[in-house]
Structure 1
Amino acid sequence: MRYKITRLCKKHVSYGNPMTNKTFAASSLAAQAMGWIDPVTKAVVPPIHMASTYQRDEDNGYSSGRIYARSDNPTFDQAEATLAALEGGAKALVFSSGMSAATACFLALAPGDHVVAPKVMYWSLRNWLAGFAQHWGLLVDFVDADRTDAIAAAVKPGSTKLVWIETPANPTWCVTDIAAAADIAHRAGALLGVDSTVGTPVLTRPIELGADIVMHSATKYLNGHSDIIAGALVGAHDDEHWQKLRTIRAQIGTILGQTEAWLLLRGMRTLFPRVAWACRSAQTLAERLSSHPMVAEVLYPGLPSFAGHAAAKKQMTGGFGGMLSVRVKGGERAAIASAARVELWKRATSLGGVESLIEHRASVEGPGTPCPPDLLRLSVGVEETSDLFDDLDQALRRGHNA
């Protein structure tokens, strides 16, 4: 896939760009962050604009197009334009967290509106939908979203306003057919929102498959260095609904900090090589762990035996992601004991960073979790694959005997 580099920033920002009439691979676009050059200094890395407010003109207008930093900041422009281009969307918005980005999509609805969401999904958002969203007045049905017939049975034409899916879905990595879900949502008069945090625009482009909104917990793969909290939305259309999301961000104040926006852009410049490495390593680990004597099951979309493999193969290109989970023989006790014995892997929440992380998810999510108690979630970083496997091997064997 190749893209024409264009000025997707706001019209009042004029970044130098000698490449607007050429097309480049998406990986090249990301590496140069749209190829923008600072017009004043000719720097290839953008400055951080720390200003919280902007001067009015003598006629009391704002010819700069900016009023106050809670609405926007010049540091956002390049990150948002780069992400919109990578996803093939019309516009992008960065938020203070993945949660603030995701909840904005639901806050844009009205009390009484009906939404459909997955049973297996980002746990914090699931809790928010089951608690605050329903208390506020949304009607929420949770379904097995890897079954499109379950989505179709749950939608209510005229009442359903948003179908929300996550694919691959954390932490069992079940896969939803995005194109089929989009067709179901649109026939019911609803929008389709896709949490593509794990898919990333390197592997999956939901807008091309019919999605209206793509959400990223940008803390994860987009940033890739575990040093910021951020979220992002990409819209297929710059329409009335998109402007409502922009207004919600400004009015609630879930704006991303200037330094965090700069770090997010820095991270996106290495997105393609990081994700490619993680995919190769995760595939190798999944295949090797499938025959490990202490592993009952490996959950990874790249395995032909995985239930969602066919759907993943249809809509993911270049790999199946850097996330996998293993179900440990010996149950919860053996799983926790194994995680306690890793040396290279880090026991920590989160995913998508350059360092590999391991976590016993059921104990994190608590009561009501659909996560099996014997499951360990693995976020594969960029270390040597053989080192990662050897460390898991010794930890699983020692944990089983603990």
Structure 2
Amino acid sequence: MDATLQGPNPSFGEATRTFARIGLLSFGGPAGQIALMHRILVDEKRWLDEPRFLHALNYCMLLPGPEAMQLATYCGWLLHGIRGGLVAGLLFVLPGALVITALSAIYLTVGHVALVQGLLFGLKAAVLAVVLEALIKVSRRALKGGAMVALAIVAFIAIAFLKLPFPLIVVAAAAIGAVLHLAGLQQSGAEAADEDDVAYAMPEWTRPSARRLFSTLAVWLGIWFVPLIILWQALGPAHVYTAEATFFSKMAAVTFGGAYAVLAYVAQQAVEVHGWLKPDEMLTGLGLAETTPGPLILVLVFVGFLGGARLAALAPLAGGIGGALVTLWFTFVPCFLWVFVGAPYVETVRHVRWLASALSAVTAAVVGIIANLAVWFGLHVLFGNVDEVGWGPFVLPAPEIGSFDAVAAVIAVAAGVALIRFKANMIAVLAVAALAGMAWRMF
């Protein structure tokens, strides 16, 4: 079967307009964003056929970073090479980035106003339900068999109670998955793919080339690391912009499983190590990011904005915008690197069975990490004061029972019922929760 582009190849201008439309409409998290791209690019425009779109999606699911943004980049790259991928990826990110930066500025300047506090109070409570819904969805997809369930539990204990570094958990899970496959205890999805091979008629720029590989790698590594080196040399390692660039570069390399998998680790580091945020502000940022188009990982722009506003030794708004720009650059430049360098070799990657099993194990570990995120968020939503106590090698949360917030619990439970039981629209649920929080604080 020859899988070619089903319709006429679009002009660069038409492709740009279409990806701008996708970027402006990309609400609802990765599932909704992927469905939107499928409807527009496959069903409506017929620029890509079903096998090619799904093949691109499978590859992007293997990558660190936001899979929907990388899928948009991949599809743009298929149509118009690197310039097409660059435009598609940027248009997927920039509308939401502009909105979250504006919301961050509003939060910084008027976040103390009672009406705004009420809005954020309701949002934070509802976000707990959003995280629980994500945990349920991911666990159903990822936990196939007892070994994967056990791995998720171990990952939860490692990050929640042993405080092990997130990258260490990801690497250990990948190694365990590869060993399980080599021992014949875990079957990867690659075995079934062997029977469904399709001979793609690929554009010239998608064919593997050693020269193209090394030139693309050199260019994008330069785009990533030269600004990082400049920050280190010009501002020093202790400056907030250098710290943000270094931290978010590391996040870009290990964020398998999307934004939810890394938020607890980011929150812990941003609050306890760097002092960029207060404990409950990560929830505020997540609530704001849920209401904007683009990948959920744009919540990191909120983190970078507040860190820059508070620690850059500039006017708060100027420092915040600088922090937002640094965060955007070092979070998303690596995403383009992964696609442009790796996509021509996607067939080879797809059929490396031990690698597929390793990444399946990473996905299972991500379930445990999201569970930790749900616990961390839940404690800080429902209790005004949460301490920690040591018990041997474990660090256990110790919420103050008297600080329990019944109103936050009611809003969180109502949002959870609406999302999980009645499949309500997420934006509508967040809006109602925000209104409830405003009403409570005002009246």
TM-score bracket relative to the smaller structure: under 0.3
Highest RCO, 1 vs 2 (Cα 8 Å, sep ≥ 6): 2
Greater helix content: 2
TM-score after normalising by structure 1: 0.26
Greater strand content: 1
TM-score after normalising by structure 2: 0.24
